[in-house]
Amino acid sequence: MALADAVTSRQRWYLLATLTLANVVNFYDRTIPAVIVEPLKDEFGLSDTMIGVLGGSFTIVYAIAGVLLGRLADRVPRRYVMAGGLVVWSLFTGASGLVQGFLFLFLFRLGVGIGEASYGPASNALICDAYEPKRRSRAISIASLGIPIGLLLAFLTVGVVVEATGTWRAPFIIAAVPGLLLAIAMLVIKEPERGATDTAEMRAAAQERHPYRAVLRIRTITWLMVAGIGLQIPTYGVATFIVPLLQRYFGLPIGAASIGAGAILGLAGIVGLLVGGRLADRAADRHPSGRLVVPAIGFALAIPLTLAALLLGSGNAVLFIALFATGWTGTQFLSAAASPAIADVTPPDMRATAIAVYFASFNLVGATLGPILVGILSDTFATPVGGLSAEAVGLHRALLVIVPIGLVVAVFGSYRASRALPADRESMTGPSGVTATA
């Protein structure tokens, strides 16, 4: 089927714009607790370990629900799955602002995780069906811009709203409205036929009776899981604790700290995705492995830059933000490359399932362990040094351990995935039409 027979150019742009906006809402809602860590600790008497558990439990539910909802997205119209998820996570986000105890906040954040789990696998698979392979990384990178934009908006506005209203509850209630409106827009997306932009060999590739088992036998995907886990451990550790680090260690107020965090996780993410998407598509044109070599290089460059930033003294807040953000840009290349690489090695009717398994692996392990490990290490290392509080020293040391180790794992995983990709792609599109085994 020709691309023109699948969806028109205008319909593709509407699809991409809607999915990008949904990503903005998704990560705005998800980021609110990271901005209000200190007010939450004060109201509920929490330790850093408990803050880490709050973030980690969200991703456990997100990962498990994502596998089930990813399989559902391979069987029913994906716009229904995503629209339903938007309604669920928006309602639970609003309810989070009304809780009177930590237990209910914990439970409502689990509800947000279930709703948001509907989105990633379905949206990435939909984009891979709407755009031909040579344009997929760029299309994915545009939709993924919603992630750093959502982070940036959250870090720029949540702290300001808290200071203006005098309560940490207001951002949750305000954030519930856009998602409910966007769910309506999601329902009118024009979906292409599954596999519409793939070759005849890819569309003919046989789906095995046990799709999860088939996915786990593809070496490219298993190594991408390693890379994703390596990335998400420091990513979620940083996302959860970067505002407290800037407050405690560098002495910034919540408004300035959230703006600094926005520069690190928002602006760096936008630049990284735009650059990474273009580089990944160009590299893929030159060599079958090229799409995944790009994130391996990005991680390798990020390690010394982020480490140098974390070794700075407490009086260098501006330099820390600039240096860490520069390094963090390279970590975003994987987001632009991973889903197109998975699409290269899976048949269309298994694609959302494969992406869901990939997402589940790094969320269940990496994104869950990241904030919990940082929280535990922060409490363990908490010792006053010089004029710094015990909480400031503990959190700084925790990130100094977690960030470089996670990025080393990500380099290794993405490089090995790049080596496996050509053979896996050839095996899937060969005469047998079955996927490669490890």
Tokens 């960030």 map to which residue?
Answer: 403
Displacement of CA 392 from its chain's centroid (Å)? 27
- What number of CA atoms fall less than 13 Å from residue 354's CA on the CB side? 31
Measuring CA to CA, how many Å separate 64 from each of 70, 113, 119, 136? 10, 10, 13, 26
Flag whether 11 is in a domain. yes
Q: Who's near 430: CB < 8 A, 6+ residues apart? A: 201
Flag whether 420 is in a domain. yes
Neighbour-count burial for 235-262, b at 16+ CB within 10 Å, e otherwise: bbbbbbbbbbbbbbbbebebbbbbbbbb
Candidate ranges 7-11, 198-202, 387-391, 422-426; pick with highest mean pLDDT: 387-391
Tens digits of per-residue pLDDT, 56-85? 777 788 878 887 887 787 788 888 999 999
What gap in Å lies between CA 358 and CA 381, rounded to an integer? Answer: 33
- pTM reported for the whole predicted model: 0.77
Quote the percentage of the chain above a pLDDT of 70: 92
The alpha-helical segments, DSSP class H, found in 36-118 are 37-44, 48-73, 78-96, 102-116
Mean residue pLDDT across the chain: 86
Flag whether 382 is in a domain. yes
Structural domains of the chain, count: 1
Is residue 300 pLDDT above 80, yes or no? yes
Residue pair 417/292 in contact by the 8 Å Cβ criterion: yes
Flag whether 438 is in a domain. no
CATH number for position 364? 1.20.1250.20
Displacement of CA 432 from its chain's centroid (Å)? 35
Q: Which two tokens stand for residue 171?
A: 């951002």
Query: 3-class DSSP state for residue 250?
Result: coil
What gap in Å lies between CA 32 and CA 261, rounded to an integer? Answer: 12
What gap in Å lies between CA 219 and CA 70, rounded to an integer? Answer: 20
Q: Is 173 exposed, middle or buried (0-12, 13-18, 19+ CB in 10 A)?
A: middle
Tens digits of per-residue pLDDT, 218-239? 999 999 999 999 999 999 899 8
Q: Tell me, what's the pLDDT at 403?
A: 96
What gap in Å lies between CA 260 and CA 56, rounded to an integer? Answer: 23
Domain that holds residue 338: 3-428
Flag whether 437 is in a domain. no
Quote the percentage of the chain above a pLDDT of 90: 39
The alpha-helical segments, DSSP class H, found in 249-316 are 254-262, 268-286, 290-310
Tokens 């998975």 map to which residue?
Answer: 342
Q: Tell me, what's the pLDDT at 437?
A: 38
Flag whether 436 is in a domain. no
Candidate ranges 27-36, 104-113, 280-289, 318-327; pick with highest mean pLDDT: 318-327
Q: In the 8-state DSSP scheme, what is residue 209?
A: S
What gap in Å lies between CA 292 and CA 411, rounded to an integer? Answer: 10
Flag whether 259 is in a domain. yes
Tokens 């680090």 map to which residue?
Answer: 245
Is residue 6 pLDDT above 80, yes or no? no
Tens digits of per-residue pLDDT, 97-128? 998 888 888 889 888 888 888 888 888 888 88
Flag whether 435 is in a domain. no
